[in-house]
């Protein structure tokens, strides 16, 4: 595998046209080894100065000063915070929203869903980290509710799920499907049969279902699987299957 160290080439979506955004791949970074590429994870075992350099490249690509690239202490929660300026400490939350021009909201993922939101009329944006736990507990709806507090309307919001693990690559056990069915029996449609006693979970499909049920104007998934494409994406599950010691984190960002 060869990862270029020159050009950042983020995934973008026509649903978010008119607002600066990017689901950044691992292309264009300075990290090496298992982190090769644009590793933006401060919680990884990568060299801190290299991670800082990678994050600086993202800030530059987003057209903001480094302290205006707002990130969170992600804990797989349903907590969404409103941000009105640069942060001195990262709040323990998994989504952020703002109506302040010049602030870039960013979240980190490595299989979980990165979700970017925009109400083009109210000029309110949001970014959420939605793994199975956060999505089940309501982080997407919490993001929309926080946007509403800033004047957005759910029926005007465009939401895009970026590169995430696909159903084909996401094997889960009986315990997980039971948690989803206890919450909503209709969730069965997001699980396919896998190996004996196992299921294949459609995480992006589930995220789209929750967004559409919440009433957003439009929602889409980029269609990129983080597990399948090692050249472009980090993957926690791929790293686990290989027995590797650590993995990089992808950054997704949006700003007004």
Average pLDDT of every residue of the chain: 96
Can you give the length of the chain in residues? 256
pLDDT tens-digit profile of 2-38? 444 468 999 999 999 999 999 999 999 999 999 999 9
CA 85 – CA 138 distance, rounded (Å): 25
Question: Strands 250-255 and 198-201: what pairing?
Answer: unpaired
In degrees rounded to 5, what are phi and psi of residue 192?
Answer: -110, 160
The reported pLDDT for the residue numbered 85 is 93
| Ordered domains of the chain (ranges, CATH) | 14-166+202-255 (3.60.140.10)
- Let me know the angle formed at the C-alpha of 69 by 63 and 74, rounded to the nearest 5 degrees: 150
CA 189 – CA 219 distance, rounded (Å): 18
Q: What is the rounded average pLDDT of the residues 129-137?
A: 98
Buried b (16+ CB within 10 A) or exposed e, 239-251: beeeeeebbbbbb
CA 10 – CA 222 distance, rounded (Å): 12
pLDDT tens-digit profile of 83-108? 999 998 999 999 999 999 999 999 99
pLDDT at 112 > cutoff 80: yes
pLDDT tens-digit profile of 203-229? 999 999 999 999 999 999 999 999 999
């Amino acid at each position: 595998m060869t990862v270029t160290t020159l050009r950042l080439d983020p995934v973008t979506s026509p649903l978010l046209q008119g607002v600066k955004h990017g689901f950044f791949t691992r292309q264009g970074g300075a990290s090496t080894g298992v982190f090769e590429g644009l590793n933006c994870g401060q919680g990884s075992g990568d060299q801190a100065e290299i991670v800082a350099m990678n994050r600086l490249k993202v800030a530059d690509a987003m057209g903001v000063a480094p302290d205006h690239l707002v990130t969170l202490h992600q804990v797989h929660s349903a907590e969404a915070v409103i941000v009105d300026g640069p942060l001195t400490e990262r709040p323990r939350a998994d989504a952020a929203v703002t109506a302040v021009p010049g602030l870039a909201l960013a979240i980190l993922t490595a299989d979980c869903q990165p979700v970017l939101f925009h109400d083009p009329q109210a000029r309110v944006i949001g970014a959420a980290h939605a793994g199975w736990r956060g999505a089940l507990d309501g982080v997407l709806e919490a993001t929309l509710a926080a946007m509403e507090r800033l004047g957005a309307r759910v029926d005007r919001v465009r939401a895009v799920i970026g590169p995430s693990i696909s159903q084909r690559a996401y094997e889960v056990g009986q315990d997980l499907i039971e948690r989803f069915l206890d919450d909503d029996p209709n969730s069965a449609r997001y699980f396919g049969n896998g190996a004996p006693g196992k299921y294949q979970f459609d995480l992006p499909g589930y995220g789209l279902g929750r967004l559409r049920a919440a009433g957003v104007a439009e929602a889409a998934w980029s269609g990129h699987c983080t597990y399948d494409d090692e050249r472009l994406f980090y993957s926690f599950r791929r790293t686990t299957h290989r027995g590797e010691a650590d993995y990089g984190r992808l950054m997704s960002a949006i700003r007004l």
